Amino acid sequence: MTATVEPTTASTTHSTLTAALARSVPSTHFRLPEPSSRPVSTRPTKPHQARRYLRGYLRTLFLIDFLVIAVAVGVAQVGRFGWASTERIVGNSVSLLTYGTVSVVLIVGWLAMLHLQDAYDGRLSGHGVQEYRAMFAASVWLFSLLAITSFAFNIEFARGYVMIAFPLGTLLLLVGRWCARRWLVRQRELGYLSDRVLLVGDHADLSPLITALHRTPSAGYNVLGACIDDAPGIRIGGVPVVGGCSDVVVRAMDMDVDVVAVSSSSGLGSEGLRRLGWALEGTDIDLVVAPGIMDVAGPRVMTRPVQGLPLIHVEAPTFVGPQLVFKRTVDRIGAAIGLLLLAPVLAVIALLIVLDDRGPVFFSQERMGRDGRPFKLVKFRSMATDAEARLAQLMAGNEGSGPLFKLKEDPRVTRIGAFIRKYSLDELPQLINVVRGEMSLVGPRPPLPREVAEYEDATHRRLLVKPGMTGLWQISGRSDLSWEEAVRLDLYYVENWTPLLDLMILWRTVRVVTSPDKAGAY
């Protein structure tokens, strides 16, 4: 949280904060740093101020955006008018600016619109879809204003120029940002370019919060310590406990953190949380509040302030309606096209399986679909023909968790089977199940009947949607995941499905299957 403060000395600021806190409700007291400690910033700060460590990265983003926009606009002008064009736009039958000048104005306007859409807000960098949404929204707004201006003042923009610049520029912006994010995510996975975070809350609620932050390094939160009152002097989730809730301000400054994250269960209360915000004013330390709502995605959450109280509206997940019709249509059409395009690959794999051991090409197994309806899942056979009969002999060596059976070195897997499993080629015939309407391209993992028999009540929610050829489990570790983690990912998908999430999963699936060493495929 940042705020504008008058320039002053650290000692004066310390005294002012102490007096302000003393006038507050006395139920929660914060220890403030001594004047000799890290000084409170004496410079006016700005909302959405970029992290110090991200300023170079954000400047690079701006340069990339400038270059790709210039390329798109340049291609549009040359493609429409040629290299030596002196064409002018016409308004009310009067020649106005040349398209060269228009191109310069368009580049500047595009960059300005990106700024207005917070495309360079460091808090959005590296994780989530907000960054991409800002890029797309900036392009749409810019060309909407261009269309409105053209209509209102009867300006005749060349349609070909606009029809090249808009889609090409938007595509190049998204690709450029994706490439930059890949680099940033790799840095964060190595422990660099992340916020230094101090957590505040109760032991029970901080544990899942720490797990979630560690599980998503791309979000850029590096947890350094925790301040809790109910378990002092211990480590929680691998993070040291550095003090109690009253020590937050002192520890935050001593540890030079960027973010103080408070769980909804912290003992601060509403007044204490407000006073903590006051104490952090002018320090360049953001205050983040983590509500006690787990695994709920942004599209289902809306914040509505009422008399200064932020109410969080959580929409119920929907499993019917136009989006579901759209998903089913895309599934069947996409699967049909996939079968046609992949026909030569499927034929080669089938031939290799036959030549390997003269056995059948396909393996059919009963799985449980939507609402617990059984169906026959089709795969390329990757195991010996007596694999099912030998299962009981191998159960003692099961390396899977929960009701799953997995062996890294399963003796039933054939030579060709090991190869097609490594690259997930054995799952391609499931496109037939998608065309039939039994499966989806994206969804929870299709479970066996014996697995469903062991489900807990909450786990049955996996059956509210069709199982998928790929899903969050596929792009997050597959066989290397624990049972609990696989269930959590499937339930997250069921609760938060959107077409954009499906598109993201399909894109990442391609990357995962082409990097089998990281995919947990065996």
Is the residue at 504 inside a domain? yes
CATH code of the domain in which 37 resides: 3.40.50
pLDDT (mean) for 492-508: 86
Percent of the chain whose predicted confidence (pLDDT) is above 70: 78
Condensed to tens digits (0 to 9), the pLDDT of residues 348-375 reads 999 999 998 888 999 999 999 998 999 9
Task: Based on the fold, state whether residues 142 and 222 are members of the same structural domain.
Answer: no
pLDDT of residue 42: 40
Task: Based on the fold, state whether residues 179 and 101 are members of the same structural domain.
Answer: yes
Q: Confirm if 506 and 470 have CB atoms less than 8 A apart.
A: yes
Task: Based on the fold, state whether residues 239 and 375 are members of the same structural domain.
Answer: no
Condensed to tens digits (0 to 9), the pLDDT of residues 159-172 reads 888 899 999 999 99
Task: Based on the fold, state whether residues 185 and 199 are members of the same structural domain.
Answer: no
Q: Confirm if 469 and 441 have CB atoms less than 8 A apart.
A: yes
Last residue of a domain, one of 172, 189, 206: 189
Task: Based on the fold, state whether residues 15 and 87 are members of the same structural domain.
Answer: no
First-residue to last-residue Cα distance in the chain:
47
- Structural domain range at position 337: 322-518
Which candidate, 87, 174, 78, places its Cα nearest to that of 503? Answer: 174
Is the residue at 259 inside a domain? yes
Distances (CA, A) of 297 to 207, 476, 490, 496: 20, 17, 13, 6
Residue 342 CB neighbours (<10 A): 15
Is the residue at 384 inside a domain? yes
Lowest-confidence region among 63-67, 438-442, 501-505: 501-505
Task: Based on the fold, state whether residues 179 and 128 are members of the same structural domain.
Answer: yes
Last residue of a domain, one of 189, 205, 220: 189
Task: Based on the fold, state whether residues 104 and 223 are members of the same structural domain.
Answer: no
116 pLDDT exceeds 70?
A: yes
Is the residue at 170 inside a domain? yes
Is the residue at 487 inside a domain? yes
- Mean of the per-residue pLDDT values for the chain? 80
pLDDT of residue 198: 93
**SS3 sequence of 53-113:** HHHHHHHHHHHHHHHHHHHHHHHHHHHHHCCCCCCEEEECCEEEEEHHHHHHHHHHHHHHH
Task: Based on the fold, state whether residues 91 and 141 are members of the same structural domain.
Answer: yes
Task: Based on the fold, state whether residues 105 and 247 are members of the same structural domain.
Answer: no
Indicate the number of domains in the chain: 3
Is the residue at 230 inside a domain? yes
Q: How far is CA 471 from the centre of its chain?
A: 14
401 pLDDT exceeds 70?
A: no
Q: Which amino acid, residue 256?
A: D
* Secondary structure class of 156 (helix, strand, coil): strand
**Confidence at 187, pLDDT banded by 50, 70, 90:** very high
Task: Based on the fold, state whether residues 76 and 141 are members of the same structural domain.
Answer: yes
Condensed to tens digits (0 to 9), the pLDDT of residues 55-81 reads 899 999 999 999 999 999 999 988 888
Task: Based on the fold, state whether residues 201 and 247 are members of the same structural domain.
Answer: yes
Which candidate, 172, 142, 174, 171, places its Cα nearest to that of 157? Answer: 142
pLDDT of residue 78: 87
